[in-house]
Chain A
């Protein structure tokens, strides 16, 4: 078990002082080395749950265990959680504009050589080696996703803001593969992405799971993709995990079919 959510509650109050309970006791175990899909209608709280796990939402009740220890996520700023090994792809996943594509890729690496003051001055070689390694890794990832001699390899020095919305989503997913994370939270990795790339993304996620034992929790509305990659599926409905189990069982469940898939 890499992540365990125990009885997570969250409610919101609007400007008219009306309270709405969004999550009403979510219990979920995310198994290490597995891919878990979190499905559920729009507005059921899937992204809010991701916000809680990645430290953007502190106003919740309940307990979270990460790698067997109870971690107080409420007291940890989001960047610290990310340094613990929980990476996240946002729904409107964008690159950092003002930085080039390569700089964006390098940012995500967990290799911090050269980030400690003076190290890059005292050990210029070591710093240079690390930079070269990151660059090679970035090139390799882009080649794996987009193929040999793809256009992104020639646009590595282009400012990130020059890429289209869909491209930025895709490239920010590529950026997550730079490593360092043990749990990836992917918020709709395939939304707005061309089918050809969706298959490649599915393949890469599966490979990373098998080769590096990576755990993935993903929110997704593309059922074809969910069937393709997810070992486990959890259905969030009315504030609780209403169904959880092997993907084909959950997607075959009558309630899920009626109220979510519309079949």
Chain B
């Protein structure tokens, strides 16, 4: 296995004088799924945004596939092969499902849609129906599916998922994780998963990190039940 993402001592936050991330370092191997857990406000989403260069970085570097990408903009990063799915399943609410997809796929080869169709159920509906269906009328589960499809539209090799299961019904959570399993198996995409749903994260991830006050404090083995019980279910 080779390292796909290497983060060195990343520090920064939304304002120049207040650091949220306090020197985060980690390696992500190609093809693995790494989970980031932690209390609200510990800096999980901030880490995702920092990797994508969506917030000012004060110190530290990000290497993707061996290249230093710290100075690239968010859109350049997404062309290089890193994507993020943000909290709350973000889609363009006033557009139809089809138009949302067209926006995401506009510069991509034709096969991309077919590839996505094979694993994301909402895309398998007839085109006519997708053209008529407004994105804000979608149920939570379907909205997350659409958001995921848009995230995957650039054929990324690394995807950051920020709480993909929040707000979904139990059955929709199951469906979403089945899709995510397919995403890993079919496309071989490396995943960084930020989650509050600990049970799902344990099942899905190869490695887990616990984030505390802007630092990656503990690395957990998802199979080590005792350690996990001690930390989360005391």
Give chain A's interface residues, CB within 8 Å of chain B. 12, 14-16, 18, 39-44, 91-92, 151, 162-167, 169-170, 188, 191-197, 221, 223, 259-262
Contact = CB atoms under 8 A, between A and B. Distances in A.
A260 B174 CA distance: 11
B39 A196 contact: yes
Contact of B40 (A166, A261, A262): A166
Given A14-B137, A42-B169, 14 more contacts: A12-B137, A14-B132, A16-B132, A41-B139, A42-B142, A43-B142, A164-B43, A164-B45, A167-B41, A194-B196, A197-B40, A221-B167, A221-B173, A260-B170
Nearest to B174: A262
B196 A262 contact: no
A163 B196 CA distance: 17
A220 to B, nearest CB: 10
A192 B38 CA distance: 11
27 contacts: A12-B137, A14-B132, A14-B134, A15-B134, A41-B141, A43-B138, A92-B88, A162-B14, A162-B15, A162-B18, A164-B40, A164-B43, A165-B45, A165-B88, A166-B40, A166-B196, A191-B167, A194-B196, A195-B198, A196-B39, A197-B39, A221-B167, A221-B169, A260-B171, A261-B170, A262-B171, A262-B174
B140 A43 contact: yes
Interface string B116-143: 0000000000000000101001111110
B211 to A, nearest CB: 11
B172 A192 contact: no
Contacts of A262: 170-171, 174
A41 B171 contact: yes
Contact of B141 (A42, A170, A193): A42
B22 to A, nearest CB: 14
B215 to A, nearest CB: 15
Contacts of A165: 45, 87-88
Contacts of A162: 14-15, 18
B46 interface: yes
Contact of B41 (A18, A43, A166): A166
B168 A42 contact: yes
Contacts of A197: 39-40
Interface of B: 14-15, 18, 38-41, 43, 45-46, 87-88, 132, 134, 137-142, 163, 166-174, 196, 198, 232-233
Most A-side CB within 10 Å, residue of B14, B40, B88, B140: B40
A14 B136 CA distance: 11
Contacts, number: 90
B40 A41 contact: no
A192 B163 contact: yes
Contact of B167 (A91, A163, A164, A261): A91
Ranked 4 nearest A-B pairs via Cβ? A43-B139, A166-B40, A42-B139, A262-B171
Contacts of A44: 139
A262 B15 CA distance: 44
A239 to B, nearest CB: 14
B171 A188 contact: no
Given A14-B132, A167-B41, A262-B174, A191 B166 contact: yes
A223 B40 contact: no
Given A221-B170, A260-B171, A42 B41 contact: no
Nearest to A224: B199
A16 B233 CA distance: 50
Nearest to B195: A192
Nearest to B38: A194
Contacts of B134: 14-15
B169 A260 contact: yes
Contacts of B172: 41-42
A196 to B, nearest CB: 7
A98 to B, nearest CB: 15
A39 B171 CA distance: 12
A41 B38 contact: no
Nearest to B18: A162
Nearest to B96: A15
Contacts of B137: 12, 14
